[in-house]
Amino acid sequence: MSFHNVALFLHLLGVVTWVGGMAFAYFCLRPAAGALSPADRLALWCGVFRRFFALVWLSITLILVSGLGTLIKVGFGNAPPAWHLMMVVGLVMVAVFVNLWFGPWQRLQAAVAGQDWASGAGALNAIRQRVALNLGLSAVNIAAATLGLAW
């Protein structure tokens, strides 16, 4: 088993977990949760995000270590342009998640703990916007990974 095979496995495991989780939350859970009362909906999202965001941190670690490790092994100058694009877009995605973590996620937890449903709804909307942005960025990276290698 080569370094490349292990790195690719870990990289894809992280990507599938992060992007798949965002897609599930945005396109499946969000519409279904709309039927709940504000208190129940926000409590549900807190429980979901608490678990999912722990996986996102693990995914980010896997993606960055495997991606950077592969770039270093191949050599930055020898890597296809699509790999450089994926690294830049991936780092932007990480920045968006870090902003989400330290901003609206903290506000959502505080709002739910204090039963401030209006503030919680605002924080949840801010999280939704960042998830939508990261879903769009992930589509760019998937295109770079699959179509970009032909450049």
User: Mean pLDDT in runs of 10 for the chain (151 residues)?
Assistant: 96 99 98 97 99 99 98 95 96 99 99 98 99 99 86 54
The pLDDT of residue 144: 94
Q: Hey, where are the domains in the chain?
A: 3-150
**Predicted pLDDT of residue 148:** 79
Dist CA 48 CA 86 (whole Å): 28
Cβ atoms < 10 Å from Cβ of 28: 10
Distances (CA, A) of 145 to 1, 3, 139: 22, 19, 10
